[in-house]
Amino acid sequence: VKIGDLGLATIVGKTHAAHSLLGTPEYMAPELYEENYNELVDIYSFGISLLEMATMEIPYSECDSIVKIYKKVTTGVKPQAFEK
């Protein structure tokens, strides 16, 4: 099993938060879209990766655009793969 594309690692202080948007939309935590996040977004990305491995389906494959993925993620709508 190979896992990649979880972002770039860096050491940050307790009060530091990143402020940039970079990633694969299907695996991005809601906080990433708000451009104010910390290392906890990696846990979300890892969980979504586990979902893909368990269901053999790309998360949010029901969406035909990045905008639709954005709307679902930022409003808390889970990918349809959770129904499997």
Which residue numbers are catalytic? Answer: 5
Backbone angles phi, psi at 79, to 5 degrees: -65, 150
DSSP track, 39-79: TTHHHHHHHHHHHHHHHTS-TTTT-SSHHHHHHHHHTTPPP
